[in-house]
Amino acid sequence: MAAQRRSARLSLRQLAEQAGVSNPYLSQIERGLRKPSAEVLQQLATALRISAEQLYVRAGILDPQAHPSPSVEAAVLSDTSITERQKRVLLDVYASFARENAGDRAAEA
């Protein structure tokens, strides 16, 4: 949880405020001293701008094998913080990298 918070560039206080929980409670969750409810995990996921399912997997509540991560394309398309044009550009760049890497793997074989 702390790593996800840091990757979102949020302080403990900022995440606690955005998720509607107290600083001490969030600190205890991050240190593994408390297990958050599904409702609190949902609030944290919303504040971190990731899916609740991803947070459940990272929190050890869901098995990652049974719940694979959503595709890059699905994640980009569902992101409401970027424009449609930005989504197209991101997907084009991603597809370009994927094609390039597939070619590299084929050449190595």
Q: What is the pLDDT of residue 74?
A: 77
Count Cβ atoms below 10 Å from residue 43 Cβ, excluding itself: 18
Q: What is the pLDDT of residue 15?
A: 96
Q: What is the pLDDT of residue 63?
A: 65
Q: Calculate Rg over the CA atoms of the chain.
A: 17
Q: What is the pLDDT of residue 10?
A: 93
Distance set, CA 4 to CA 11, 19, 21, 92 (Å): 11, 14, 17, 26
Specify the higher pLDDT residue, 51 or 6. 6
What percent of the chain shows pLDDT beyond 70?
85
Specify the higher pLDDT residue, 100 or 63. 100
Count Cβ atoms below 10 Å from residue 55 Cβ, excluding itself: 20
Kindly indicate the confidence band of residue 26, based on its pLDDT and cuts at 50, 70 and 90: very high
